Amino acid sequence: CTVPPEGCTWTDWIDESYPEYGSNGGDDETFESIQINRPPWNCAKVENISCRAEKYPDIPISDLGQKVECNVNTGLLCKNEDQKPGGIIPMPVCINYQIKVCCVPELPPWCTTSTTTTTKHSTTTELTITTTTSTPSTTTTTTTTLPPTSTPGPSSTTSGTTSSSSSTPGTTPV
């Protein structure tokens, strides 16, 4: 089960149909037509396509003066009813076209692919605790600051202060 490293592989030039004459005719090099006429067609996704006229391989199809649909969703379709006489092609009929596709093959069902992504986050927490204790003759204040600690988890920073006071009856906390 190996997928090409570049993702897709270019086919040779494909020419499965010859143009049919008449207003309902044309040239059909669609993927649907290719699947019917070429049973071993094994393409899960077409990533790119190149289309050319058989008799004019070096002339871009946009310069031929014919209305032709050529895309990665359907393939190539030329309908005679959409053509007008003039330009390089003197008759209002489709000429014969060919396509070449960059295809990602379908993987057999027993092949699986997986991608693993690992992301690291950390949390830093600093905690300060202040305790004040009062007696009639002395007041003691103790402050404890714990060093920052890092733990795996979502990236955030938290700091807080907790205070507590206690007093002996008849005295006032400081």
pLDDT in tens, 117-145: 445 544 444 444 444 444 454 444 455 55
7-22 per-position pLDDT tens digit? 899 999 999 999 998 8
Rounded Cα gap, residues 24 and 87, in angstroms:
22
Structure tokens at 105: 């093959």
The answer to whether residues 29 and 97 touch, using CB atoms and an 8 Å cutoff, is yes
What is the predicted pLDDT for the residue at 78?
98
| Helices within 15-168 (DSSP H only) | 31-37
E strand or H helix that includes residue 79: strand 75-79
Residues 50 and 63: their CA atoms lie apart, in Å, by 15
Instruction: List the domain boundaries for the chain.
Output: 9-104, 122-165
pLDDT in tens, 60-106: 999 999 999 999 999 999 999 999 987 788 889 999 999 999 999 87
